[in-house]
Chains A and B, each alone.
Chain A
Amino acid sequence: MKPFSIAWSNVRRMLRERSNIFFVFIFPIALILLIGVQFGGGVDPIVGTFSADDGDLSQEIHAAIEAGESFDVIVYETEEALVDAVELGSVQAGVFLPAGMDAATAEGTPVEIGYVARPDGFGAQMQAIVNSIVAEVMMPVGAAQYAAAETGQPFTTALAASQSIADSLQVSPVDVSYLGEALFPASLGQFDLGAASQLILFVFLTAMAGSAALILTRQLGISARMLSTPTSVGQIVVGESLGRFGVALVQGVYIMVLTLIIFSVNWGDPIGAIMLLIFFSAVGAGAGMLMGSVFSNDQQASGMGVMLSLGLAALGGCMLPIELFPPTMRTVAHVTPHAWALDGFAELVRRGGTVVDILPELGVLAAYAAALFALASWRLRVAITRP
């Protein structure tokens, strides 16, 4: 009962602060929106292209992409250079045009156009646009293939005929396969991965910011006053922890529900997603408690909290997808709870996993939370009883 009173006073005070309302509830959604819908204006994203040869079709597709208005285009000389550029984020997506496309289409064999993108929201959106551009170029080709096969005419004759009527006719485009699909399935909504990353980033950030509130409570002498009532140190520690946890959880549920309603974000199995959120909120709350117990200056703690939160988020794959990390970095990334939580969401969202499939991730998060809470309550106990 008493811990809940302490927790509730924390949540109530957090909700009362207008700047908190902005950073906890408005800012994350705005960011998800911004990352999901980047074509609305501002700086155009950049697509890198690489053509393996100088064939007619390559040149034509390339020209069509460049003519597009939705993004800028940079041409790369080697495949590796383009992959690096995508990984480093200097271009948001790369289009790979293979060698011998002219010959292949003449023979009627399907061509594979490579597409690689960062799954931060730009990728899926741009893929749709690249898709339609390529389709537009390939449509007459497909029609010619169809005509040649049906009529027995030579492909080149059929192609010339189909190109001449392409502008006035709607023909369904040929299938073009994209190499990038294994990494980011086409079914993935444009907001899905961005939303999970933002959720994790902000829940942790908010929990860390809660450290300042704890320090203030100590500075104001309120922790001491709580101890002067028939309330044990243990109850105070649990109450303050629950407060941090509650705030993180409220924000997380809010982000999940709102993005589900507005952007139709797919969070995967609901029980699994809620479990991940609960466990990750506990990790954040534990970290916030530890900060709030170790530091005695709220501004120092806020500054450190933000730095740490952003650092861990970056390292954990909330800013650049972990799939694009070099293997060693991928291992290092799993020092952060963020990487484990993201793995969990990836399992739920991309591979349709259920709560059983994310048990390892939940276990790791539980271990983090337990360790952080143990350390924090030890420190807070000392801070409260030996002022």
Chain B
Amino acid sequence: MTDILTVNGLVKSFDDFVAVNGVSFSIDEGETFGLLGPNGAGKTTSISMISGLLESDGGEVHVAGDRVATSSTKAKAHIGLVPQDLAIYPDLTASENLSFFGRLYGMTGDDLSKRVDQVLEVVGLSERRDDLSKEFSGGMKRRLNIGVGLLHKPRLLILDEPTVGVDPQSRNAILESVEQLSGEGMAVLYTTHYMEEAERLCDRVAIIDEGQIQAEGTRRELVSMVGEKDKVTIAGGGALSSSIPAIEGLAGVTGVSATEQQLDVLAEDASSILPQLLAAVTDAGGSISGVEVFEPNLEAVFLHLTGKALRD
């Protein structure tokens, strides 16, 4: 796989305050990559440098092999940026906003007007294309804001907390369109402080706090990296404890404990051994009345890494 984005040792200070402190990661072609961290972690500052809005104090960014700087128009042609704060003209209509930015992306004429129609369709604003964007609901403005970033079919779409302050319905629509775009092969860099969004959308996640990346990998890699285990709780009766030796022999199981009515199992990857686990219990003569699987989430990983909760 080739990298569409490589970020190498980005640093940015505001006066004495170091907002971004050596951030490095890379994103494959077509991959969805999450930057997960609380408010003030340095996500937006990193994004600003990655998309060439902010001069960095150190480090390098390349998009599709082109070096990004505030003055580099070549690299920027590969990127579609959806900034955290709405950046659309309130006194222009949806289609006027799209046409305007489309021209800045170098589109003209029929190409432009066709693409504007398509994007309006994608973000569900075709019906309201000729209304001023200031008359839109919060969710509609967000969708238009995203639409601007899609106009030129960028190879890398950067979304900075696109669901903040959005009603649940619009939020879901946004997540679905990101999934769809990613399915069509667009690489996505997605920042959020919502653990569920990172888990749902992202192939890989980097956890960022205080300007530094604390850990990076797939959800499973991150979870095991910090020693967090899946937990399976089996409720039932009979000879539950007699299945313990068999369960301990299963791959990835790190601990088992039992009471009269309940059996708790800690394992690396619970879902993959679940059938064997249940078989072991019934083989030993136990009866099962209920099964629950707890997979540790990124919230737990974050807590483990930083000693604080993701949402403050």
A residues near B (Cβ < 8 Å) are 1-2, 5-6, 9, 12-13, 16-17, 220-222, 224-233, 385-387
- Nearest first, the 3 A-B pairs at minimum CB distance are A221-B87, A230-B73, A225-B87
A227, B52: Cβ atoms under 8 Å?
yes
Interface residues on B, range: 20 to 34
- Shortest A3–chain B CB gap in Å is 10
- Shortest B273–chain A CB gap in Å is 47
Q: A231: which of B51, B73, B86 is its contact (CB, 8 Å)?
A: B73
In Å, the complex CA distance between A8 and B48 comes to 27
In Å, the complex CA distance between A224 and B49 comes to 12
A233, B105: Cβ atoms under 8 Å?
no
A385, B55: Cβ atoms under 8 Å?
yes
Residues in chain A near residue B260, CB distance under 8 A: none
Given A2-B103, A9-B100, A221-B83, residue A228 in contact with residue B51 (CB < 8 A) = yes
- Residue in B closest to A231 when the chains form the complex, CB atoms: B104
A221, B86: Cβ atoms under 8 Å?
yes
Contact flags B75-100 to A (C-beta < 8 A → 1, else 0): 01101010101111111100010001
Contact flags B59-72 to A (C-beta < 8 A → 1, else 0): 00000000000110
A/B interface sample: 9 pairs, CB < 8 A: A5-B100, A6-B104, A9-B89, A12-B96, A221-B87, A228-B52, A228-B83, A231-B73, A385-B70
Q: A233: which of B48, B71, B86, B103 is its contact (CB, 8 Å)?
A: B71
In Å, the complex CA distance between A204 and B77 comes to 38
Given A9-B92, A385-B55, residue A226 in contact with residue B85 (CB < 8 A) = no
- Shortest A20–chain B CB gap in Å is 11
- Residue in A closest to B104 when the chains form the complex, CB atoms: A229
- Shortest B92–chain A CB gap in Å is 7
B79, A228: Cβ atoms under 8 Å?
yes
B89, A220: Cβ atoms under 8 Å?
yes
- Shortest B72–chain A CB gap in Å is 9
The binding surface of chain B is classed by DSSP as loop
Contacting residues of chain B (177-228) with chain A, CB-CB under 8 angstroms:
none
Residues in chain A near residue B71, CB distance under 8 A: 232-233
B53, A224: Cβ atoms under 8 Å?
yes
A224, B87: Cβ atoms under 8 Å?
yes
Residues in chain A near residue B105, CB distance under 8 A: 229-230
A225, B83: Cβ atoms under 8 Å?
yes
Contact flags B31-64 to A (C-beta < 8 A → 1, else 0): 0000000000000000010011111000000000
B103, A222: Cβ atoms under 8 Å?
no
B70, A233: Cβ atoms under 8 Å?
yes
In Å, the complex CA distance between A387 and B96 comes to 26
A227, B87: Cβ atoms under 8 Å?
no
A229, B101: Cβ atoms under 8 Å?
yes
In Å, the complex CA distance between A225 and B100 comes to 12
B92, A387: Cβ atoms under 8 Å?
no
In Å, the complex CA distance between A221 and B53 comes to 11
- Residue in B closest to A228 when the chains form the complex, CB atoms: B81
Instruction: Name which of A6, A231, A233 has the most chain B CB atoms within 10 A of its CB.
Output: A231
B89, A225: Cβ atoms under 8 Å?
no
In Å, the complex CA distance between A385 and B48 comes to 10
B residues near A (Cβ < 8 Å) are 48, 51-55, 70-71, 73-74, 76-77, 79, 81, 83, 85-92, 96, 100-101, 103-106, 108, 148
- Shortest B44–chain A CB gap in Å is 11
A225, B73: Cβ atoms under 8 Å?
no
Residues in chain A near residue B76, CB distance under 8 A: 228-230
Given A13-B92, A221-B87, residue A230 in contact with residue B55 (CB < 8 A) = no
Residues in chain B near residue A233, CB distance under 8 A: 70-71
Q: B89: which of A13, A17, A224 is its contact (CB, 8 Å)?
A: A13
- Shortest A17–chain B CB gap in Å is 7
Instruction: Name which of B81, B85, B103 has the most chain A CB atoms within 10 A of its CB.
Output: B103
- Shortest A105–chain B CB gap in Å is 69
In Å, the complex CA distance between A6 and B104 comes to 8
- Residue in B closest to A229 when the chains form the complex, CB atoms: B104
A230, B53: Cβ atoms under 8 Å?
no
Residues in chain A near residue B96, CB distance under 8 A: 9, 12
- Shortest A247–chain B CB gap in Å is 14
B55, A225: Cβ atoms under 8 Å?
no
In Å, the complex CA distance between A222 and B83 comes to 10
In Å, the complex CA distance between A17 and B70 comes to 33
In Å, the complex CA distance between A228 and B79 comes to 8
B89, A227: Cβ atoms under 8 Å?
no
In Å, the complex CA distance between A76 and B83 comes to 71
- Shortest A382–chain B CB gap in Å is 11
In Å, the complex CA distance between A298 and B48 comes to 24
Given A12-B92, A221-B86, residue A228 in contact with residue B53 (CB < 8 A) = yes
B73, A232: Cβ atoms under 8 Å?
yes
Residues in chain A near residue B74, CB distance under 8 A: 230
A13, B101: Cβ atoms under 8 Å?
no
In Å, the complex CA distance between A387 and B87 comes to 15
In Å, the complex CA distance between A345 and B54 comes to 47
Residues in chain A near residue B106, CB distance under 8 A: 230
- Shortest B67–chain A CB gap in Å is 14
B55, A386: Cβ atoms under 8 Å?
yes
In Å, the complex CA distance between A385 and B104 comes to 17
In Å, the complex CA distance between A13 and B101 comes to 15
A230, B83: Cβ atoms under 8 Å?
no
Residues in chain B near residue A6, CB distance under 8 A: 104
Residues in chain A near residue B90, CB distance under 8 A: 220
In Å, the complex CA distance between A233 and B70 comes to 8
In Å, the complex CA distance between A145 and B89 comes to 77
Given A232-B71, A385-B70, residue A224 in contact with residue B83 (CB < 8 A) = yes
